[in-house]
Amino acid sequence: MSSLLIHNIGMLATPEGTEAHRGPAQGQLRVLENAWIYTENGRIVSFGSGEPPLTAEEKLDAGGRLVTPGLVDAHTHLIFGGWRQNELAMKIRNVPYLDILASGGGILSTVKATHAATEAELTNKAATALDEMMRFGTTTCEAKSGYGLCKDEELKQLRVIRKLNETHPMDVAATFMGAHALPPEYKENREGYLKLLCEEIIPAVAQEKLARFCDVFCETGVFTAEESRQVLECGKEYGLIPKIHADEIDPIGGSQLAGQIGAISAEHLIVCPDEGIASMARGGTIACLLPATSFYLNSTYAPARKMIEQGVPVALASDYNPGSCPCLNLQLVMNIACLKYRLTPEEVLTGVTLNAAAAIGMAELVGSVDRAKQADLVIWDAPDLNYLCYRLGSNLAHTVIKKGVLYHG
Ligand code: NIG
Ligand code: FE
């Protein structure tokens, strides 16, 4: 047995429980001052404030700092070959994201670079990204396929995710996103690609148990709401839980669909209409918002306050990908969520911990400091939560703890 006692915690801030928090509860945290946490074999056993009533094999003095649960990044496109720095000049000239895609660039250029990379190359590259995420305080993440767009290449990406989950300290939840773009060879044959997804690729993903979730890019020029429904319903039949990229650029019905089919989360929601919010509230869908993408696309920001008011739980994630958000830093996401969404630091913390964990079906295990959850914690170079959300551009992660093991920020 290995035990760890973290003591002299200036402030312990955490949401509580194993379910997403909505409405006013999103902003309600457990806050303990002068606190301690005791863990055994990588799990939280007890915590409290005042003098710790017990000792452990290993003792860690938090030096009066802030401690929170390890951050959870519920939306990344972690596995890809190459980069797209050539698009920066186009962005500066205001060439729209969807125009770059329609001209064969964007996602489709990353598809080429990902096909050209071996499984080992993709694994190494993504492992480096996971290392960086951990240095910024992320201890659990989600990762999507979607730069394959054919059976072998989608399976290749998902096998990389599985391998990383097995070998890297980060917990990595896998999402199949074969419906990320229409492959150019199917340009005149949309039904052909939907058929391939539903009749060949999804069954193969399910058979190898390579993913837990199925995601679709529901967007103008990509997949319509009806096509998205078809793919997600098919995924459901094979046991894949639906997620959906909705209302990122145009509101074409994605958020309404999310609530109707009981998607666990809907992503982006930058231009989410009121009916979409109402549908998600009815369906119990979590809004997974990606404020760094709004920043990077120079677009508007999702109506996060309205979502909280209407009882939709809000999770916050990076959207790490080579096109619309090459960013691994959830601290930056927290800053932007405060300043642009006008969320409070308490609402933001719930968004990057418990609600994010719920958005990837892991809230029983991670996302809060609660008894029996994994000892995934961050000691911050910050005296309190306000300071963490207020400072900009520094990495304030001092010590990152994953399953009771120490990594440094
Ligand atoms: O979530 N919108 C679709 N997918 C990603 C972007 C992927 C890319 O540009 O490579 C996103 O923004
Ligand atoms: Fe995305």
Name residue 342's amino acid: R
Instruction: For domain 3-69+368-408, say whether CATH 3.40.50.300 is its number.
Output: no
> If you measure from the C-alpha of residue 64 to the centroid of ligand 2, how many angstroms do you get, rounded to a whole number?
37
pLDDT of the chain, 409 residues: tens digit per residue: 899 999 999 999 999 999 999 999 999 999 999 999 999 999 999 999 999 999 999 999 999 999 999 999 999 999 999 999 999 999 999 999 999 988 888 999 999 999 999 999 999 999 999 999 999 999 999 999 999 999 999 999 999 999 999 999 999 999 999 999 999 999 999 999 999 999 999 999 999 999 999 999 999 999 999 999 999 999 999 999 999 999 999 999 999 999 999 999 999 999 999 999 999 999 999 999 999 999 999 999 999 999 999 999 999 999 999 999 999 999 999 999 999 999 999 999 999 999 999 999 999 999 999 999 999 999 999 999 999 999 999 999 999 999 999 997 5
Position in ligand 1 atom list of the atom nearest CA 147? 10
Ligand index nearest the alpha carbon of residue 219: 1
Q: Is the CB of 324 within 6 Å of ligand 1?
A: yes
Residue 275 backbone phi and psi in degrees, to 5: -65, -30
Q: What is the dihedral of CA 157, 91, 325, 206, to 10 degrees?
A: -30
Instruction: Give 186's DSSP letter.
Output: G
Residue nearest to atom 1 of ligand 1 (CA): 319
Instruction: Decide whether any atom of ligand 1 lies within 6 Å of the 84 Cβ.
Output: no
State whether the beta carbon of 321 lies less than 6 angstroms from ligand 1.
yes
Which residue's C-alpha comes closest to atom 6 of ligand 1? Answer: 324
Indicate whether residue 106 lines ligand 1 (CB < 6 A): yes
318 touches ligand 1 (CB under 6 Å): no
Where exactly are the structural domains of the chain? 3-69+368-408, 72-359
Nearest to 81 by CA among 145, 147, 151: 147
Ligand 2 centroid to Cα of residue 258, in Å, is 15
pLDDT value of position 409: 54
C-alpha 403 – ligand 1 centre gap (Å): 31
Q: Report angle CA 119, 213, 370 to the nearest 5 degrees.
A: 105
Ligand 1 atom closest to the CA of 97, numbered from 1: 9
Residue 105: CB within 6 Å of ligand 1? no
Q: Whose CA is nearest to atom 9 of ligand 1?
A: 323
- List the one residue out of 174, 173, 358 whose CA is nearest residue 264: 358
pTM of the model: 0.98
Q: Is 228 exposed, middle or buried (0-12, 13-18, 19+ CB in 10 A)?
A: buried
Give SS3 for 6. Answer: strand
Q: What angle do CA 56, 57, 59 make, to 5 degrees?
A: 65
The CB density around residue 282, as the number of other CB atoms within 10 Å, is: 13
Distance CA(218)–CA(181), nearest Å, equals 9
C-beta 245 within 6 A of ligand 1: yes
Q: Does 80 contact ligand 1 (Cβ within 6 A)?
A: no
Compute the distance from residue 324 Cα to the ligand 1 centre, in Å.
Answer: 6
Where does 72-359 sit in CATH, by number?
Answer: 3.20.20.140
pLDDT of residue 358: 99
Cα separation, 177 vs 406, in Å, equals: 33
Query: CA 406, CA 402: separation in Å to the nearest integer?
Result: 7
- 319 CA distance to ligand 2 middle (Å): 5
